[in-house]
């Protein structure tokens, strides 16, 4: 069975909003092995591989991961390059989670008022 080919994400100077699909994997590249995240673009739903080898990506992602119970999966952030220079650092900003917390149920406020006793 053929595996789905996922393209590499090319990060430019415009912000792009991403959600992490799964935990990191290691991919063989022309320069050796590279840690990657499979991400999904928030606007289009397109999936990409994001190399997380650069220190300017790894450090902010580690802080986000620590705040996400030690997991990459489920992280939402936006990323861009600081300038058009190929050696420019990346900028990452956390985005609020769009998914409800697992096990929570949204009920209208009047549903709670019925259970009140005075």
Domains by residue range for the chain, with CATH: 16-113 (2.40.50)
Q: Closest Cα to residue 78, out of 11, 17, 19, 9?
A: 17
Please tell me the predicted confidence (pLDDT) of residue 73: 96
pTM, rounded to two decimals:
0.76
The residue assigned the tokens 């289009």 is: 44
- The mean pLDDT value of the chain amounts to 85
The residue assigned the tokens 């840690």 is: 35
Please tell me the predicted confidence (pLDDT) of residue 100: 42
Q: How far is CA 99 from the centre of its chain?
A: 13
The tens digit of pLDDT for each residue in 51-72 reads 999 999 999 999 999 999 999 9
CA atoms within 13 A on the CB side of 103: 0
């Amino acid at each position: 069975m053929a595996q789905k080919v996922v393209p590499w994400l090319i990060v430019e100077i415009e912000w792009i909003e991403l959600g992490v699909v799964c935990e990191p994997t290691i991919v063989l590249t022309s320069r050796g092995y590279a840690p990657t995240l499979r991400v999904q673009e928030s606007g289009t739903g397109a999936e990409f591989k994001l190399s997380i080898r650069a220190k300017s990506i790894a450090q902010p992602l580690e802080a986000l991961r620590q705040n996400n119970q030690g997991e990459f999966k489920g992280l939402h952030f936006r990323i861009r390059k600081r300038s058009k220079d190929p050696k420019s650092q990346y900028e990452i900003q956390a985005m609020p989670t769009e998914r409800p917390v697992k096990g929570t149920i949204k009920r209208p406020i009047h549903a709670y008022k019925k259970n009140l006793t005075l």
